[in-house]
Amino acid sequence: MEKSLSLTEENYIKAIFQIGTTPESNVSTNALADNLQTKPATVSDMIKKLSYKKLIFYKKYKGVTLSASGSKEALKIIRKHRLWEVFLVNHLYFKWDQVHEIAEQLEHIKSSELINRLDDFLGNPTIDPHGDPIPDANGQVQLGPSKLLSEMTSHENGIIVGVKNENPLLLQHLDKINIRLGLHIEVTEVNDFDQSMQVKLADLGTLFLSEKITSQILIAKNL
Amino acid sequence: MEKSLSLTEENYIKAIFQIGTTPESNVSTNALADNLQTKPATVSDMIKKLSYKKLIFYKKYKGVTLSASGSKEALKIIRKHRLWEVFLVNHLYFKWDQVHEIAEQLEHIKSSELINRLDDFLGNPTIDPHGDPIPDANGQVQLGPSKLLSEMTSHENGIIVGVKNENPLLLQHLDKINIRLGLHIEVTEVNDFDQSMQVKLADLGTLFLSEKITSQILIAKNL
DNA sequence: ATTAATTTTTAGATTAGTCTAAAAATTTAA
DNA sequence: TTAAATTTTTAGACTAATCTAAAAATTAAT
Ligand SMILES: [Mn+2]
Ligand SMILES: [Mn+2]
Ligand SMILES: [Mn+2]
Ligand SMILES: [Mn+2]
C-alpha cells in the first residue's frame, strides 16, 4: 500500500504534466519554479523526492519527465479539477472565470468514490467549462483536434471549442465581447502588421481581435 | 487582513468547540490529544500558538476555552462540514455512514462564496444527515431541544431527531434495524439491570435496544 | 498533610517544505 | 574554443507540525 501523495507532491506532478507538451518532453527546473511560484532550489529538492518515488525520470541538469505512474496521478488530479469546475459552473452558477482557484483546492480531496459519483451526478461530461477534456476514470482523454484562432487565415471558419488558459481577466474579457464556447466564427480579415483579426460571429456580427486574444482561442479542426 | 488558519489549526479549533459542552467549559490537553489522535506535548505547543493568535483563552495547566473569534471560526468549519454532508447524501447518494470522513476534508476548502452557493443549492437545510443543526452564514444555530432515548422511561414517546456520533459501525447498525431520523418511537419497557429497552417504532413493530445504542439516539423534546 | 498518581509542560529531535547564497554544470556568444 | 551568461544543484538555515523523554504542576489517596 503506497502512501498517497502530499498536496505539494500532487501540485508538482500536475505542473510537470501541464508544462510538458509531449509526454517525453523534459521539463526544466526553472519552468517548474515559475509555474509553482517557488524557487529553483526548492524544485531541485522536490525533484529528488519524486524521482526516488519513481513518479518522474530525472537526470541532473537535464530536466524531468513523468513516469507511467506519475502520468496516471497527474490525470487523476486533472480529472478531479475539471469535474469540480463543471459542478461549480453548472450547479452553483459560478462564472467560468471564478472556478479555477476553487478547483485548485478541490482537486486534492482524496476519495475516488466521491469523484466517480460526482462524475455521474454531472452526467459524465467530456469537457470542462473552458473546453478542456475531462479524463475518464481510467485516465483516458479524448481530445478532438483543434487549432488556434491565430493560426487561421482569411475566410477560414470553425467552431470555438476552448480557451488555452484560465486567466480570469482573459475570460472576463471574452464574456464582455460575447465570445463563448460553441460559437461559429469566420475570419474575415488578418492584418499582417500585428496579426490582429476581423472576425464574424454567428448572429453577433463583426469583431476586431488582437493577437493576444486570437492566440488563446481554440477552434475545432474539422477533419 | 489576518492570515487564514492552517488545516491543523482549524482542526484544533473545531475539536475544542466540540469537546467543550458549554462555551465556557475548559478543554484539557489530554482530551484534545485524544480527540485529535496526537500527543499531549504536541497539543501544548499548538495551544500556545492559538492563544497567541487570540483564538483561545489559556492558563497553564488549566485547559482552554474558545474566544469569540475562535468560536466564530469553529462554527464556520462546522457549517461547511455539515453542508457538504448534505450534498454527499442528498445529491451523490452516499449513505449516512460514509460521509463524515470525506466531509473532514471538504470542510477545509476556503471560499465563503462557495459555501453560500452550496447552501442555496441544497435549499438552505437546517440539519445534516445525522440530525445535527447547520449554522447559518452568521454562525447562528437553531437546535430544537432533545434528550437521549436512554433517558426516557416506560410509555414515553417521541420523534427520533439525531444520533450523538457518526461512528460508521453505529450508523450501519441503525440502518440494519431500520432506525432512521424522523421515526416515531415509543418506549414499551426499560430493564433496570442493564438499561436495555424494548421500543415500538411506527409501522416497524417492536425492537430490543441495548444501552449502548439508546445512549446514542436523540429524541425531540416536545415543549 | 505528605505521598503517590496523573496531567501538563518543557527540552531536544525529526520531517516536509521552503528560502538565500554560493558553487557547479551547461549553454550561448564572442 | 575560450569566456560570459544562464541554469541547476548544493549547503545551510528557517518554520510548522510532530514525536519521545524528562521535569514540573496539579489532583487524588492514604
Ligand atoms: Mn482550472
Ligand atoms: Mn478548466
Ligand atoms: Mn460528520
Ligand atoms: Mn454530521
In chain C, which nucleotides are within 7 Å of a protein Cβ? 7-12, 16-22, 25-27
pLDDT, tens digit (0-9, with 9 covering 90-100), for A74-84? 999 999 999 99
Please say whether the beta carbons of A174 and A180 come within 8 A. yes
Looking at the predicted structure, is the pLDDT value of residue B11 above 90?
A: yes
| pLDDT, mean of residues B137-154 | 93
What homologous superfamily is domain A147-220 in, according to CATH? Ferrous iron transport protein A (FeoA) (2.30.30.90)
Distance, CA of B2 to C1' of D24, in Å = 35
Mutual angle of helices B40-52 and B7-19, in 10-degree steps: 100
Domain limits, chain B: 7-66, 147-220
pLDDT, tens digit (0-9, with 9 covering 90-100), for A188-201? 999 999 999 999 99
What pLDDT is attached to residue B144? 85
What span, in angstroms and rounded, lies between the C-alpha atoms of A55 and A19?
16
Cell of A132: 478542456
DSSP for chain A? Answer: -PPPPPHHHHHHHHHHHHH-SSTTPPBPHHHHHHHTTS-HHHHHHHHHHHHHTTSEEE-TTS-EEE-HHHHHHHHHHHHHHHHHHHHHHHTT---TTTSHHHHHHHTT---HHHHHHHHHHTT--SB-TTSPBPP-TTS------EEEGGG--TT-EEEEEEES---HHHHHHHHHTT--TT-EEEEEEE-TTT--EEEEETTTEEEEE-HHHHTTEEEE---
Query: How far, in Å, is the centroid of ligand 3 from the Cα of B107?
Result: 10
Looking at the predicted structure, is the pLDDT value of residue B215 above 70?
A: yes
Could you say which of B92, B114, B117 has the minimum Cβ distance to residue A121? B92
What pLDDT is attached to residue A194? 93
Looking at the predicted structure, is the pLDDT value of residue A24 above 70?
A: yes
What span, in angstroms and rounded, lies between the C-alpha atoms of A84 and B104?
18
**Is A95 an 8 Å CB contact of chain B?**
no
Which of A89, A97, A117 is most worth mutating to test chain B (most B CB atoms within 10 A of its CB)?
A117
pLDDT, tens digit (0-9, with 9 covering 90-100), for A169-188? 999 999 999 999 999 999 99
Residue B222: pLDDT band with limits 50, 70, 90: confident
Choosing among 1.10.10.10, 1.20.1440.60, 3.50.50.60, 2.40.50.320, the CATH entry for A7-66 is 1.10.10.10
| pLDDT, mean of residues B76-101 | 98
- Closest C1' nucleotide to B48's CA: C9
Is the four-CA dihedral A130, A136, A138, A144 of positive or negative sign?
negative
What span, in angstroms and rounded, lies between the C-alpha atoms of B130 and B143?
13
Enumerate residues 6+ apart whose C-beta is below 8 A from B16.
B27, B32, B56, B64, B65, B66, B70, B74
What pLDDT is attached to residue A201? 93
Rounded (10°) CA dihedral B105, B109, B112, B113:
-110
What pLDDT is attached to residue A26? 93
Q: What is the DSSP letter of B164?
A: S
